[in-house]
Every structure is written in structure tokens, then in C-alpha cells.
Amino acid sequence: MITRRSLLAGTAALAAAPLLPRRAVTAGADPEIMEAALARVQIAPEGYPQTEIWGYGGAVPGTEIRVAQGSRLRRRLINSLPQPTSLHWHGIRIDNAMDGVPGVTQEAVRPGGEFLYEFDLPDAGTYWYHSHNQSYEQVARGLQGPLIVEEADGPDADRDEVLVLDDFRLDPETGQIAAFGNMHDFSHGGRTGNIAVTNGAFNKTLAVKHNERLRLRLINSSNARIFALELRGIEGWIVALDGMPLEAPQPITERLLLASAQRADLIVDVTADDGGEAHLVRFEGEEGFSQVLFEVRGQASVARRGPPVPLPPNADMAVTGLDDALRSRLHMEGGAMRGFASARMDGRDVDFREAAQAMNFWAFNGVVGMPEEPLFVAERGQTVRVEMRNDTMFPHAMHLHGHHFREVLPGGGLGPLRDTLLMFGDETREIAFVAHNPGDWVFHCHMLSHAASGMMTRIKVLA
Ligand code: C2O
Ligand code: CU
């Protein structure tokens, strides 16, 4: 077996014998390497210095992984960072041991260490990977990238474009990533940046043609920003959310909200004229900014109109048995302006002031951070309903690992399959899912400063 290390050690020998045949890469060969390491990239506009990031493959977002549904992914994580790290494969119905959560499914990989991730990809869709250690810092420094699992039978579109929406907080003088651990971020809406980017660039531009049909895979990889999006000069449909196809494409008629970690697959037609411009617009309040500029040059040879056919559904996703479901409740408390009266922290009851001194501002069911006991223990295959009450002033993006859920709507219907649900202050929302995947699965707010300062729990599914 040749690991990366032995290859490096053998570099001199190879250089001395340049005519050695190269080793063929075949199935079952050594896994590809994902090295988490420092790199310098241009994030700020031209004229500003480069920014030092922590990334996979020297870039942010990291190299796109694109594989066929049903295939097996093998990646060897090598940690060349100054901190322990791990890799989480967000939204994948994964083997629990490969979920990448330090303290729950593995030990964090120490600097200089490595870990082999190897798992099947049962579902097609738009997913992403990111560090799950010290995430509020490591993901913001750039340890994240897209994971695209392709359907055998893809939709009829001219192009497939992955658009990773993110933001960075850069020091305007030096262009470097601003320091972490700001109390205001933790206790309020989380760390938002001062420069919004797409695929790591603040001025992402794509050349398109009039009447071209595009599949856009939007991924919000930011720490805390809720992207509020509209289309200009482009029209279309949402065809999947958080990787999972909608039963029917949904026309985009209003502002699309994409919370941290959420994804949306769109199929859109360029309606702007040849020579004109189209935009993916990001709203901050009522002010719109061009998040992505589409320069319209030329005409597509075929013009399609009318809704696309739905994407093929992923197997075994039905959420049934709601009447006999195991019922659970999650009471979300804390944050600025409200706090909590008392919560359990490190095995004792503390008030909000004492929790805040330890940089903890949030509690789930009266516990700050990971509780000793899981929120609930489900039998494999059991249907579970969790009622979540957001007793805070802030929005939260609640993410469950290893499963997709549906929202139980007030009228009794079910929402689309998702792995991350955006909840606003004072909302109560209920989700339901079939606990089909054995293991310990974390359940947390994906506004990463919130997860780091209390909003973290886990569930257990028996084997
Ligand atoms: Cu995207 Cu717990 O993770
Ligand atoms: Cu939150």
C-alpha cells in the first residue's frame, strides 16, 4: 500500500528514476487524500492582500466531489492544521462511524494525524462536507466544500453549476480573517461576515446564453447568514431542498430563504436578452446586491419552457406512522435579551450570567451543550416526532445528522424532506422522521457560534 507519506518519502528516488511507469489508479486503489492545510487565496477585491485560509486542497470552497449515486466514497483526511479536526458529510444518510463528530463518532484527528472515511452514498443530491471540530472557527476559516451525488438519470438542462454561498469577516486593513470568540456573535445572531462570496469570490460571474436552462445547486456554507435570494432575468423552479427532490417542481415566485447549511437545487431558464445581464440577488433588508452576475452572450440552440420533470425520488424516505410516533420535545432557550433563569452546565445548575462567563449562552431542555443522556432513544424503524419551541429572540437552523425529516405542518400536512430547518424567534415547529439509521446522531443549531455555546444535543437509534 502506498500512502501519501511513503510517496513523499520516495520522491527523491522517483526523481532519480524518471522513467518508472506511473502506478495506475484503479477501483480499490488507495483513497484520495484530503489534506486540511493552510493556504493563501484571493477573497477580497483586487488590490487587497490575499487571505490566509484553512482549506482542503488549498482552496475555499474545497475541491468539488462529484460522484454517482450508489457509489462508495473513500477519502483519507490528513490534518496539517495547528488544531485537531474532523470531516462531516452533511446530509448523507451515512454509516454512523463515518459521521465525523468528535466525541460522538470518532476522536478528533490530531495535527499530523489522519483518518480514513469510507462510506456508501445512497441518495442523489446536493450535499457538502465540512469540519466538525471547533466548527465555528474551522468552517469559517474555509474547511468546507461541495459534495454532489448525481442521479443516474439527470434532468434536462444545459449546465449544472454549484454555487456555494458564504461570507467572510475580514480585517479591512490586512485582508485576514478576523479573530474568533467574539461574545456578541455567540449571544446574538452568530458570526456574519463583512464580505459575501460565491465559490470563494466576491464577484462571481458566469457567462450564459439567452434561453439556456441551468441547474443551479445553491449551498449556504456560511456560519450564520440567512441568504434571502431573488432572481432577475432568470426564471425557474425549486426542484430539491437539502438534497432531496420535491415531488413537484415549485415555481420561484417569492424570496428564497437559505439558512446556514441548507441547500436548494433550482432549474432555471435565462430570460434576459442576449447582451444583457441576469442576477442572483441577495437582499439585506430591502437592499439588493448582486450575489452572482450572469452575463448573457449568445442564444441557446433549443429554448425550453415549462416546468421540468421532477427529479427521481431517493428510496425509502416515506415518513409514515405519525399517529403512533415516539414523541419528543425540544425547548430552546437563551441568547441576548432573554437568557434563561437556570440551566445545567458541567453537571451543576447555573444562571445565565455564570453560563455567559463561560461563553455559553444557549440551552436545550435546560442543558447547556451536549447532555449526558440523548434527547431520546428510538428503536430502529420507529417514527419520531420532535416538537421544537424556540423561546429565544433569534432564528436558528436546526440540523439533524444521519436522517432527513419532514415538518408536520399546522394543518396536518407534511413539508418537504429536509435536514436543516430554519426557525424564527418564538416559533414552535414540529418535525417527523423514521429513525432508520442506527447510532448516535447529533442534533444542533447550524449557526455555528450557537452550536459552540450551548445549542447541541444528540439522539440515539438502536441497532
Ligand atoms: Cu453540517 Cu453537525 O453539521
Ligand atoms: Cu442558533
State the pLDDT at residue 11. Answer: 32
Cell 466525541, residue located: 103
Output the DSSP codes for 10-58: THHHHHH-TTSPPPPP-TTSPPEEEEEEEEEE--SPTTSPPEEEEEETT
Ligand 1 atom with least separation from CA of 128: 1
Exposed e or buried b per residue across 325-338, where buried means at least 16 C-beta atoms within 10 angstroms of its C-beta: beebebebbbbbee
Residue nearest to atom 1 of ligand 1 (CA): 90
Strand partners for 68: 150
Q: Are 69 and 121 in contact (CB under 8 A)?
A: yes
Ligand 1 centre distance from Cα of residue 300 (Å) = 39
Ligand 2 centre distance from Cα of residue 178 (Å) = 21
Q: Are 140 and 51 in contact (CB under 8 A)?
A: no
Q: Is the CB of 450 under 6 A from ligand 1?
A: no
State the pLDDT at residue 271. Answer: 96
Q: Is the CB of 87 under 6 A from ligand 1?
A: no
Relative to the alpha carbon of 393, which ligand is closest? Answer: 2
What SS3 string covers 69-133? CCCEEEEEEEECCCCCECEEEECCCCCHHHCCCECCCECCECCCCEEEEEEECCCCEEEEEEECC
Per-residue tens of pLDDT for the chain, all 463 residues: 322 222 222 333 333 333 333 344 445 578 999 999 999 999 999 889 999 999 999 999 999 999 999 999 999 999 999 999 999 999 999 999 999 999 999 999 999 999 999 999 999 999 999 999 999 999 999 999 999 999 999 999 999 999 999 999 999 999 999 999 999 999 999 999 999 999 999 999 999 999 999 999 999 999 999 999 999 999 999 999 999 999 999 999 999 999 999 999 999 999 999 999 999 999 999 999 999 999 999 999 888 779 999 999 999 999 999 999 999 999 999 999 999 999 999 999 999 999 999 999 999 999 999 999 999 999 999 999 999 999 999 999 999 999 999 999 999 899 999 999 999 999 999 999 999 999 999 999 999 999 999 999 999 999 9
Ligand 1 atom with least separation from CA of 451: 2
Strand partners for 76: 33, 116
The reported pTM is 0.93
Q: Is the CB of 141 under 6 A from ligand 1?
A: no
Considering just the CA atoms, what is the radius of gyration of the chain in Å?
A: 22
Q: What angle do CA 327, 375, 387 make, to 5 degrees?
A: 40
First to last CA, the chain: 33
State the pLDDT at residue 30. Answer: 87
Our measurement of the distance from residue 364's CA atom to the centroid of its chain's CA atoms, rounded to an integer in Å, reads 22
State the pLDDT at residue 28. Answer: 57
